Amino acid sequence: MRFYNSPTTPFGRKVAVLLREIGLKDKVDVVEVSGTPVAPGTMPVDRNPLGKIPLLERDDGKAIYDSRVICRYLDDLTGAGLYGAAPKLWDVLTLEATADGMLDAAVLMVYEARLRPPEIQFPDWLEGQWAKIARALDALETSWIDHLNGPLDMGHIAVGCGLGYLDFRHAARDWRAGHPRLAEWEARFAQRPAMKATAPA
């Protein structure tokens, strides 16, 4: 298999962590690409018409994309069980969606600051994106903390990568303030070898 990724994308990090957790790291060739929505660069637009990563090229040559699709495929391929069966499945998928939604907002904030000329940046829109993240953090601190303190599943990986991205790109926002239980969980989870090996530089 071939894995198209960038070392700074949090969505690609989810896949990279999963590959390590389920023992597939050495069975996948990594192709590093880069680009933005306004300049696709080396992004695999011929394999994904959306021009986004991560993208996994299967052994049969077919491409699948979106981190949730790739992670679900790899989990099914290996029988790792990191999604589980219903009814637990719905909790795992919802937690992963919460983390991914937080990441969507965080990435849009980066694009607003980096790609849009300063004179037409929209501060209220930026704060609206952060408000989504803040609500997700509150939910993780209260509604999801017991789940996070349970056995490893894909929701844990998604949340760990999400919080890591907030540290990487939005450290000044200090997501830990007001979220002591989530901060304690993240400090432990970040020590997993797969998380340490994939931390963005």
pLDDT computed for residue 179 by the predictor: 98
Q: pTM to 2 decimals?
A: 0.96
pLDDT tens digits along 33-72: 999 989 999 999 999 999 999 999 999 999 999 999 999 9
Q: Which residues contact 6 (CB under 8 A, 6 or more apart)?
A: 12, 32, 33, 34, 53
Q: Calculate ∠ Cα 197-199-201, nearest 5°.
A: 115
Per-residue pLDDT of the chain in tens (201 residues, 90 and over written 9): 999 999 999 999 999 999 999 999 999 999 999 999 899 999 999 999 999 999 999 999 999 999 999 999 999 999 999 999 999 999 999 999 999 999 999 999 999 999 999 999 999 999 999 999 999 999 999 999 999 999 999 999 999 999 999 999 999 999 999 999 999 999 999 999 999 999 998
pLDDT tens digits along 121-135: 999 999 999 999 999
Cα within 13 Å of Cα(71), Cβ side? 29
- Contacts for 19-23: CB closer than 8 Å, 24+ residues apart: 19/74, 20/193, 20/194, 20/197, 20/198, 21/80, 21/82, 21/152, 21/157, 21/192, 21/194, 22/74, 22/75, 22/78, 22/80, 22/82, 23/78
Domains of the chain, start order: 2-78 (3.40.30.10), 88-196 (1.20.1050.10)
